[in-house]
């Protein structure tokens, strides 16, 4: 069992009051709060041994490089990667997905197909539109069922000789749906396609082993995993990284630069141009250490207990529609109040100290599929409590009365 009081003591912001109420921070799917261990690790590196990495020969440069590369090793272990050489640091999952699209663009000829889904975040839609605009790719969207699952039969029917890339979210940031990425990867690779998984939410709430999933590429971000912003990760197999073109050019990613040609550095540095997010990577390593002290199943059960308490607490409220009701989903509760805009709902909840997200959550095609403009979304993390879930329910009920 996790010790909630002890955990919450490590997040100073949770002691805040908002409008005279204790803060109930339920916006974790957008960005999680950071424990003192993460902030302390970044502060200590800044104060005691900061320098640029890799190229220096002095003590501070060596110490910073060791800390930076130790973070890469922690990420590799966290994701079940075979080697730290399979881990590229990016400035977020968005950049990781853009790196995938650019790096694989040379595989695309006019008419080649890229399969994504209606539940994707814009970060896993827009980069593929670049390939549609520039190289003539055709984007095909896997339909989403009423309860929020992928239509897997439709997906399998889409696969064919024109399919070059399949890029799907592992856990939806709106629906909480957990997609069967291992099965999807098997089908995609049997069709000869490159398989990419957006693990931004999944890496927070699930045990991940990229080798078991058999994906070619897998991305995650730091700030949802109780780490800092401006740091992300792209895992890739050795084979796929060797095929991919560099995304950015500059220092570090080259081996030699001549007037008439350049040669590239080895992976992962081939994809890490310029000064990387050094402190942020170290902070991500600290976040992985921090999360790793807890049993992942204990965390999952705790978060899902809060989700179920919130969902069940709204069950008799006829004016509430929950979007995303698949079994075995993640701790994300998206909903609408009949006749009310999600922004108005979120503002009323904030009056009672309850922080939720409202809007399209960067998933406009998903909103269009359900014929809605937006949703309000509560998302639960390790530090949330049953009292906060109950306060959320109470605040939604007050909003329903006020807005009816």
The catalytic residue positions are 362
Q: Which residue has the tokens 């796929």?
A: 240
Number of C-beta neighbours around residue 14 at 10 A: 18
Q: How far apart are CA 346 and CA 304, in angstroms?
A: 22
CA atoms within 13 A on the CB side of 402: 14
Q: How far apart are CA 183 and CA 310, in angstroms?
A: 31
Of the candidates 348, 357, 288, 29, the residue with the CA atom closest to the CA atom of residue 171 = 29
Of the candidates 230, 229, 232, the residue with the CA atom closest to the CA atom of residue 220 = 232
Tokens of 399: 């909003």
Torsion of CA 271, 277, 281, 287, to 10 degrees: -130
Find residue 218's DSSP bridge partners. 197, 235
Q: How far apart are CA 270 and CA 248, in angstroms?
A: 9
Alpha carbon of 403 to those of 21, 163, 345: distances in Å?
21, 48, 8
Helices of type H across 199-353: 202-205, 210-213, 238-243, 278-292, 296-313, 342-351
Q: How far apart are the first and last CA of the chain?
A: 41
Sheet of 138-142: strand order equals 87-90, 232-236, 217-221, 194-198, 163-169, 113-117, 138-142
Find residue 378's DSSP bridge partners. 333
């Amino acid at each position: 069992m996790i010790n909630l009081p002890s955990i919450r003591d490590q997040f100073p912001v949770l002691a805040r009051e908002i409008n005279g109420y204790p803060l109930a921070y339920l916006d974790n799917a957008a960005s999680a709060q950071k424990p003192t261990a993460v902030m302390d690790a970044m502060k200590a590196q800044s104060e005691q041994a900061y320098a640029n990495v890799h190229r220096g020969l002095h003590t501070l440069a060596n110490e910073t490089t060791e800390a930076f590369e130790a973070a890469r090793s922690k990420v590799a272990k966290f994701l079940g990667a075979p080697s730290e050489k399979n881990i590229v640091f990016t400035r977020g999952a968005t950049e990781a997905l853009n790196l995938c699209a650019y790096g694989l663009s040379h595989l695309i000829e006019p008419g080649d197909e890229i399969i994504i889904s209606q539940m994707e975040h814009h970060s896993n839609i827009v980069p593929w539109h670049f390939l549609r605009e520039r190289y003539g790719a055709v984007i095909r969207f896997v339909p989403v069922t009423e309860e929020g699952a992928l239509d897997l039969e439709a997906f399998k029917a889409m696969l064919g000789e024109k399919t070059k890339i399949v890029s799907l979210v592992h856990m939806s940031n709106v629906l909480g749906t957990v997609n069967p990425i291992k099965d999807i990867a098997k089908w995609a690779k049997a069709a000869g396609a490159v398989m990419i998984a957006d693990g931004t939410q999944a890496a927070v709430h699930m045990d991940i082993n990229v080798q078991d999933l058999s994906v070619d590429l897998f991305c995650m971000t730091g700030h949802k995993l109780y780490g800092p912003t401006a740091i992300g990760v792209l895992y890739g197999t050795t084979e796929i990284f060797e095929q991919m073109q560099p995304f950015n050019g500059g220092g570090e990613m080259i081996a030699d630069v001549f007037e008439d040609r350049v040669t590239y550095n080895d992976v992962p540095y081939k994809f890490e141009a310029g000064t990387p997010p050094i402190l942020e990577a170290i902070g991500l390593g600290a976040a992985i250490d921090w999360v790793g002290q807890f049993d992942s199943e204990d965390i999952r059960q705790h978060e899902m207990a809060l989700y179920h308490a919130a969902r069940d607490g709204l069950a008799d409220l006829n004016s509430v529609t929950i979007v995303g009701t698949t079994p075995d989903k993640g701790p994300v509760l998206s909903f609408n109040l009949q006749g009310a805009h999600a922004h108005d709902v979120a503002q009323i909840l904030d009056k009672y100290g309850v922080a939720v997200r409202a809007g399209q959550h960067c998933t406009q095609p998903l909103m269009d599929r359900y014929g809605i403009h937006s949703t309000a979304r509560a998302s639960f993390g390790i530090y949330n409590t049953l009292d906060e879930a109950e306060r959320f329910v109470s605040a939604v009920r007050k909003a329903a009365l006020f807005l009816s």
